[in-house]
Chains A and B, each alone.
Chain A
Amino acid sequence: MSSLKLSRRSLFKLAGAASLAACSSRPARQILPYVKQPPELVPGVAQYYATSLVEDGLATGVIVEAHIGRPTKIEGNPDHPASLGGTRAIEQAAVLGLYDPDRLQDITERGAPASWTAIDHALGARGRMHVLLEPTTSPLVIALIERVRAAGIGVSFWSPFERRESLAGNAIALGRPLQTQLDLGNADVIVSLDGDLATDLVAARQAADRRRVVDASSAISRIYAIETGPSPTGIIADHRWAVRPSDVARVAAGLLRGNGELPWIAAVARDLKRAGSRAVVVAGERQPSEVHALAAQLNAASACVKYIEPVVFEAGQPSHELPDLDGIDTLVILGGNPAYTAPAFSGRIAAVQTSIYLGLYANETAAACQFAVPAAHDLERWDVARGPDGTLSPIQPLIQPLFDGRTVADMLHAILHDRPQIARDELAAAWPKWSAMPFDEALARGAVPDTAAPHVEVKPREIAIVPPQASAPIELAIRPHPFVYDGRYTNNPWLLELSEPITKLTWDQAVQLSPATAASLGVATGDVIELEAFDRAIAVPVVIVHGHAENAVTLHTGFGRMGTEAIARGIGANAFVLAGAHGVRITRTSRTHELAFTMESPWEHGRPVALGGTLHQLATHDLELPHGPEPTLLSPMPRSGPQWAMQIDLTTCTGCTACVMACAAENNSPVVGKQQVKNGRDMHWLRIDRYIDDAGAMVVQPMACQHCENAPCEYVCPVGATTHSPEGLNEMAYNRCVGTRFCSNNCPYKVRRFNWFDFKTHDKLRVLGANPNVTVRDRGVMEKCTYCVQRLRRAEIDATVQHRALAVPQTACQQACPTRAIAFGRLDVEIAELRRRPHSYAELRDQGTRPRTQYLARIRNPNPEIT
């Protein structure tokens, strides 16, 4: 407070102003319940709004389901080119992020309540000012940034995982920092150099569309994955090799030469050459620029790679580095968490006289700054952003900001001392500058077609690229966590409890290493090791991962959070401390750490699980798959109405786990916490079984209630709480359940979940995100997948009321699936053709359960040259 010199008179002036100014930077239009109910708003019937969720400036189009003004569920927007209808787990969990009670709720100064007037005052102070933003694509914000710059204020951008290396690589190979746009829909051969084909929703869909096996004659693509630790990309790949991070560049150089130290490189190179323009090399963003440059050269003839000018404002330019803040008097940080993602930066913040942070949480950066201002969540604000291809995507609020959150535009207006205006009006007024489509229509669609950035015709330069030789005895690969990312989602309990696709770990961070490396270090899963680089060390527990490269470790970011977020705090260590290190020194400690996995054994134990084979085996009928009904003595259940069934394609399933999150979000699955997960009491109705098959490859199989026609659970229930519907659903009557749990004991798939305690949330804020159409289960009752029966009933009611044929609804898992691996519908209509495919099979068919959920076996298309 020493910096703020107040006379008695000005103090009273300020106090008076503060009491009048109602702490608002701009007039807000109230979002209130209706007094007169409009005809389209029917209690119990959801409204759907198109909007976008933004990460590192890039928009993913979503459709948000709202019940009487409160958002409850997020789906992908099929009309949005960055979603195509699919979502990641992160989008699914955004609703809980909105209703997070740990969000920053008031303007604070050093943790004590403050007023907007104080912020206004701080922004009005003389001296040099600098604004640090997250990368942005919003034309609205960009226009403001340009005005801010014109006022002599420095602006820079920071996010730890934004595209940096690919732009730099393209700058080397193409002469300009262009953005790579993949078009995998036409790719016959895909080589992934630590690439991410699975969590990039568009790449995942395009790659999957080329791998839908109808029969042995299906010409599916071939995917090679070269990566350090297993990833969903490696799971769908036909060939996967684990290499150390530094070897990826050498593999890339080998592919370009046509040969390499490793025997398979030449064969892959030949396959790439054979495929000609239908071959593509995908380099991962965590790879150095040289790998991207080599990939650009490898892709010279590829029709599957296009280049566009970077969508993110000033991407690849010096403004995307952290400022050094010398001589800066006022620092304004708008979003992000640089004090955590760049630990050295927090010291620089502290040296600035006045610092203001706009963020969702009172996190590390908020703690380093003088003022913290609550930010509006994506579901609370007006803005516009661009998708990764440049498509203009409006952002509209679903709800009045819960904690009076401000937007980046609000803050920039405040810096510019603009007269406040209504956010929606401002956006609507500026809209014609960016698009010819009327604003309201764009809002309804969620994306403006034909606004993608034009392709730039460019040829790679013929220059020799020397792969970096950096190497260390134990190499380090730092990767964003698939769910909590760079730490911005770590306070979301849904995402923490979600089983990590590769390790099946929940609620924790662990450093992945191969069995052999672990053996040479003398450590086992759960042992804590110290990773040291640049004289900085962090202690992290070990998780042994089969299929990880030797003498290398993979470490996820997002943990070691030290903000005030109650859930995120205290889990793991900050991996960003080691950012930039190629290698680490590892020291064993005597400590161990309890880890909560959702699976204990990675092996198949000779069981017929997650079945699969090669395309060749399918052609030669060499694939023995259990299908067709087992004979039974039981009389069939009475049938009437649509016969629901599900088919899951294991060829295209990447194990990304978005479906599990979608299921939990749709069906009000409770969060049980680390200890209960460890006790085997996680409550997800759907799980992704992950096995290591006999060949050592990682395979996945989504597993939920199979809705058996001869259900073993039904006949053992003493009170008839679980019964069979005429539509083929295995139904649970929660109110009738007394909780003997015999049904679970007799379920061969163990997909039933039991409420061991009162698991449901009692948080007044969090309950707002619950789906009102799904019963919240009480303690002591059994629950399980219902095939989203609430959606089935809604569809049936709509069909009856509107006198039309039944429109088959999507289940939550199906709707979220980025690769469309899950099909749902009527057994004799939508599913009939899938059931007839030669690789359709029933899990545990020999148990005679006749499951309604069946699988399409995982069909690989290996290169016959490589054995």
Chain B
Amino acid sequence: MTDGDDPVIVGNPSDTALSDQLLSHTWQPLSRGWKLAFAITGAGTLMLLYMITLTVLRGIGMWGNNIPTAWAFGIINFVWWIGIGHAGTFISAILLVLEQQHIRTSINRFTEGMTLFAVVQAGMFPLLHLGRPWFAYWLFPYPSVMDMWPQVRSALPWDAAAVSTYLLVSIMFWYLGLIPDLAGVRDRAPTLRRRRVYGVFALGWSGSVQQWRHYKIAYLTLAGLATPLVVSVHSIVSLDFAESALPGWHSTIFPPFFVAGAIFSGFALVVTLIVPARRVFKLYNVITPRHLDMMGKLMLVTSSIIAYSYICELFLAWWSGNRYEMFEQLHERPFGFYAVGFWIMISCNCLITQLLWSRRIRRSAVALFIIAAFVNVGMWLERFEIIVVSLTRDFLPSSWHQYMPTYVDICILAGTLCFFGLLFLTFLRLVPFVPVAELKELKREEEHA
């Protein structure tokens, strides 16, 4: 059986059955597991708030950053989270534009939600890591009475613009896609209160042909807008490093390298989220081995691009003959103080992913989940290697200084994971997480095909 023959919807559920299956979780009683998870992530979120308060109140010195390592956990977490977001946009926008609905439809709501919540986590860090976060708005071009504008040769104002654009487009795209399903909940919810609340958010959706026509145009237009963002946001993020002169950062391959890494890590997190959700909500009929297979393949492709980039970095460092580059890439990263991180990174991002050549592993939810977990770790470590290891060993040995995260650093990272989880749990509870309307549409198309 080839992949093309594989069904994207197992069985032949009726429209009513699909609606019942995929919408009812918004009104059914809360499960104990959900409550427990919510409590844990909620507590973690409170801890995050406490750590943020501590940082803002006492100063950024609560983090482990120093001179020379002026950027560390904050920026690592930022790049990691923003990278994760990319897979969502890739799946929901690029696959839509490329008319790949058959593999997109069941999972795009998940990935859009993940994007949104990841960007929320990511967006906190550029703000928090500032010495004076209350002046963060100075990075935006606003007409100040002092006639002061951002300094546009720096990548950072562009970064601020790119990330905020990304957040706005992601919210709009996600919400627009939600409208028909919110209307579905409105129509089916058992209580009046729910029907009213969802009715407000459904914005008067009636499912008329005219509404569908406008909706489709708007959705595709937003997808078209979001598509270049997949490339541009992380390219600009990569310029935060590539535009500097620091060995380990000063590299022209960064934009494509970062974009590939972003999609790679994003798919890893999609798998990390979808596999348990698939099991908990028994979505075996709409999230099929074919979807898993597709994500496995994309992880393999992006992993290969990443591996190629690593080799490029090493080769170019040697080829440059530049003593600082060579020391950084050929000595400090593989054999220096943080060498363990480097080898874990290589193992997670390049070696373990080689298992994905096997079709059986690609189609095994458990195997895929484990590989994806490794990739999540590996991609975080990649940013650690790039940011921290480059900074701790720059030009003059006199300024070399080891970096160690503080408890605040670690709690903030853990806290964002919890906050992400909290948002995701809320999402699973309140919103139809598989696009029902689109699934029905796809079912019809498959039937006609």
Contact = CB atoms under 8 A, between A and B. Distances in A.
Contacts of B193: none
A756 B398 contact: no
Contact of A757 (B59, B64, B397): B59
Interface of chain B: mostly helix, strand, loop or mixed:
loop
B395 interface: yes
Contact of A680 (B69, B135, B151): B69
Contact of A748 (B65, B139, B156, B245): B245
A737 B136 CA distance: 10
Contacts of B135: 738
Contacts of B246: 745-746, 748
A5 to B, nearest CB: 57
B427 interface: no
Contacts of A534: none
Interface in A776-797: 779-782
Contacts of A746: 244-246
Contact of A736 (B65, B148, B243): B148
Contact of A605 (B60, B131, B327): B327
B401 A720 contact: no
Contact of B244 (A680, A738, A742, A844): A742
A681 B400 CA distance: 12
B54 to A, nearest CB: 12
Nearest to B146: A736
B39 interface: no
A628 interface: no
Contacts of A740: 129-131, 156
Contact of B60 (A690, A756, A847): A756
B60 A780 contact: yes
A599 B398 contact: yes
Contacts of A126: none
Nearest to A716: B154
Interface string B231-244: 00000000010011
A719 interface: yes
Given A609-B397, A738-B139, A741-B131, A600 B61 contact: no
A847 B61 CA distance: 30
A360 B294 CA distance: 79
A782 B131 contact: yes
A744 B131 contact: no
A782 B397 CA distance: 22
B216 interface: no
Contacts of A67: none
Given A680-B66, A756-B60, A749 B131 contact: no
B401 A680 contact: yes
A741 B397 contact: no
Given A607-B395, A749-B395, A847-B395, A720 B61 contact: no
A395 to B, nearest CB: 39
B190 to A, nearest CB: 51
B402 A600 contact: yes
Contact of B67 (A605, A609, A681, A701): A681
B70 A605 contact: no
Contact of A758 (B59, B148, B154, B244): B59
Contact of B151 (A720, A739, A756, A847): A720
Contacts of B323: 606-607
Contacts of A749: 395-396, 399
Given A606-B323, A742-B156, A691 B395 contact: no
A372 B400 CA distance: 47
A737 B402 contact: no
Contact of B245 (A701, A712, A741): A712
Nearest to A755: B131
A676 interface: yes
A781 to B, nearest CB: 6
Interface residues of A, number: 53
A639 interface: no
Contacts of B154: 715-718, 742
B148 to A, nearest CB: 7
Nearest to B137: A738
A712 B59 CA distance: 26
A738 B130 contact: yes
A719 B146 CA distance: 13
A604 interface: yes
B132 A780 contact: yes
Contacts of A750: 67-68, 394-396, 399
A601 interface: yes
A716 B244 contact: yes
A205 interface: no
Nearest to A846: B322
Contacts of A334: none
A695 B67 CA distance: 29
A609 B60 contact: no
Interface string B126-150: 0001111001101100000000111
B153 A604 contact: no
A719 B61 CA distance: 22
A724 to B, nearest CB: 12
A148 B71 CA distance: 66
Contacts of A605: 327, 397
Contacts of A712: 244-245
Given A676-B61, A748-B245, A780-B59, A716 B155 contact: yes
Of the candidates B69, B150, B153, B245, the one having the most CB atoms from chain A within 10 angstroms of its own CB is B245
Given A679-B64, A716-B155, A717-B151, A754 B397 contact: no
Given A716-B155, A738-B131, A754-B70, 10 more contacts: A601-B400, A607-B324, A701-B398, A716-B156, A718-B150, A718-B156, A739-B132, A740-B130, A745-B70, A758-B59
Interface of B: 58-61, 64-71, 129-132, 135-136, 138-139, 148-151, 153-157, 160, 240, 243-246, 249, 323-324, 327, 391, 394-402
6 contacts: A600-B400, A719-B138, A745-B244, A755-B131, A844-B395, A847-B395
Top 9 A-B pairs, shortest CB-CB distance = A739-B131, A780-B131, A756-B61, A680-B66, A718-B156, A750-B399, A741-B70, A689-B398, A720-B151
